[in-house]
Amino acid sequence: MDIAATALAIQSGDRRALARAITLVESARPDHRAQALELLAALPKEKQALRIGLSGTPGVGKSTFIEAFGLMLIAQGLRVAVLAVDPSSARSGGSILGDKTRMEQLARAPAAFIRPSPSNAQMGGVARRSREAVALCEAAGYDIVLIETVGVGQSETVVAQISDLFVLLLAPAGGDELQGVKRGIMEMADLILVNKADGDLAAAAQRTRADYAGALHLLRRRAQDPDGYPLAMAVSAYTGAGMPEAWAKMQALAAWRRENGHWDLARAAQAKHWFHEEIRQNLLASLMAEPLRGILDGLGDAVARGDLRPELAAARALAAMGRG
Amino acid sequence: MDIAATALAIQSGDRRALARAITLVESARPDHRAQALELLAALPKEKQALRIGLSGTPGVGKSTFIEAFGLMLIAQGLRVAVLAVDPSSARSGGSILGDKTRMEQLARAPAAFIRPSPSNAQMGGVARRSREAVALCEAAGYDIVLIETVGVGQSETVVAQISDLFVLLLAPAGGDELQGVKRGIMEMADLILVNKADGDLAAAAQRTRADYAGALHLLRRRAQDPDGYPLAMAVSAYTGAGMPEAWAKMQALAAWRRENGHWDLARAAQAKHWFHEEIRQNLLASLMAEPLRGILDGLGDAVARGDLRPELAAARALAAMGRG
């Protein structure tokens, strides 16, 4: 890959160059990693998009929502990128075709860029490739980057760490989908949107909205939460009801955080977090290669069985590494 | 310290030996660490207490609750240990005398062991010393170990990782104390107890209980949650109302988890977590000593300012360590 040419192409809006670059950062091969770092170094750091994390389990209507939301933003003249964080094997149906078939209209829009789930990726490494894909989309000049997840494993935590706002999409209670929200996720949200507030489910959607509004009201406000946030709203991606209002709330929150310094603080904290995380991952991976890996696994199993205390097992492991 | 003698003394119920042992594990000195490991190795691993984590901010009546709860358990013939996780500097008032003065009756009971907050400790290292103190109390044969925190920093996460049940103690809404519950904590709880359900606050306590019950109802049930859990109850540590019922709910949950295999699974997972955490902490500490520490801080600052991308800064850091 000609790094300099690719960097220029990305910045000039070349979608194929962006797609190739995202494929590059998804690769764990050492030569690809080296190129990825070179490419990131060649791209300007100043361009910031509004990064919106969106979590929603299968059945809440996430694709319909993203299409409606994306088309609304494009109609306002914005450029929108949509990234899926989970590997396709982790998503319902594991479709390699992915979301483009469910967001056909958005996929065709020149101002939109939709990246399907990586089909060959493992869950590990999801943090790095997601973070870097977001950075590439920002450098490519997209105004909004939507980072979506179905909520497997620790994906919401990863998404929250690479987003400016976190939105949780739910279906009205009483339907077929998984009941309730996974622990820890409700409290991450800046905005909870109850979808399908139309037709037969309209009343249920309003009740569900009220339930979540009540729960959010119990949370202590953090410094980065202005009056009225977090909040729960009912929307219909199908009819469009509530969509402009939800977007207005997101914009208002982003604007408030920019004005009050929380935007920069959060971005700085996230960057520092990833710096340390990257070091940790790299160090631990290199130190825990074979034959040490086998020793560690054996000690870990002994600890899990209750045959050996954790701190004693750790002392033995460190001794095996020539440390402690 | 005569390790073998101390180990025997602890197991025979010698409270001074237990107190000395806890002081030992609170120390970060290398020679003390070596003795601590020896002592832990000399103690039986099979004795298990019911470890109850308890989080409550100043003002919710935690000391009154712990005394009432502890005396109730002792009246049933149980032996109860109470450990405070936060360093005294982090607690309201920073009292070195700590909680013994506020739980006088319990402190005098032979079947109770109350350990005040460590006065000379930093917040770092709180995980290790708390975990090891709990292990010492279990080896000493206490039936119940209450691990309490005011909820500073990441203390609830630490407490949850060394507990079998997690209880959140709240005051009725509308009082003087901090409004609302810190994000992420509500969703850790097995039981939410709204205290001060007596006198003027009785009605408010019931309303607050209902509010939290509604919020808990929205959470998806995990494998380790039987029907009816998590739940919210109103209690009065002052009058005793609701206390036997709360204890019955805790016992029922513990029994269910034992019968259904979740108790052992959780203990194994916690032990393995601490094994890995101990290794991680040790490795990172030794690898990040001076002069590397200065380089890392400089790179971290550059990342926070936005002058350097996280992945590039990490690559430089690893190169400085002779790695990556």
Mean pLDDT of B165-175: 91
B37: which chain A residues are within 8 Å (Cβ-Cβ)? 311-312, 315
pLDDT digits (tens, 9 = 90+) for B113-166: 999 888 766 656 888 999 999 999 999 999 999 999 998 888 999 999 999 999
Measured CA distances, B289 to A68, A311, B312 (Å)? 52, 22, 21
Q: Which residue has the tokens 């493992």?
A: A122
Q: How many CB pairs under 8 A join A and B?
A: 188
pLDDT digits (tens, 9 = 90+) for A226-251: 999 999 999 999 999 999 999 999 99
β-pair partners for A191: A167, A231
Q: Which residue has the tokens 């988890």?
A: B257
Amino acid making up residue B151: G
Q: Does A306 touch chain B (CB under 8 A)?
A: yes
ipTM of the prediction: 0.88
Partner-chain residue, chosen from A221, A272, A287, that has the shortest CB–CB distance to B283: A287
A279: which chain B residues are within 8 Å (Cβ-Cβ)? 296, 314, 317-318
Domain residue ranges of chain A, discontinuous segments joined by +: 1-43, 45-259, 273-320
Phi, psi of A148 (to 5 degrees): -115, 150
pLDDT score at B119: 72
Residue of chain B whose alpha carbon sits nearest to that of A275: B310
DSSP state for residue A181 in the 8-state scheme: B
- Given the candidates 3.40.50.170, 3.90.180.10, 3.40.50.1450, 3.40.50.300, the CATH classification of the domain at A45-259 is 3.40.50.300
Encoding tokens for residue B2? 């005569």
pLDDT score at A269: 96
Interface residue of B48, B190, B278 to substitute, partner A, most A CBs within 10 Å: B278
Encoding tokens for residue A284? 């631990």
Cβ of B275 and A315 within 8 Å? no
pLDDT score at A97: 46
Burial of B97 from C-beta contacts in 10 A (0-12 / 13-18 / 19+):
exposed
Higher pLDDT, A175 or A237: A237
pLDDT score at A96: 45
Phi, psi of A11 (to 5 degrees): -65, -25
| A1-43 is a CATH 3.30.365.10 domain | no
Phi, psi of A165 (to 5 degrees): -135, 150
- Helix, strand and coil in chain B, % to nearest 5: 55, 10, 35
B94 Cα distance to chain centroid: 18
Question: Is the model's pLDDT at A324 over the cut of 60?
Answer: no
pLDDT digits (tens, 9 = 90+) for B230-270: 999 999 999 999 999 999 999 999 999 999 999 999 999 99
Cβ contact B164:B52 at 8 Å: yes
Cβ of A323 and B282 within 8 Å? yes
A130: which chain B residues are within 8 Å (Cβ-Cβ)? none
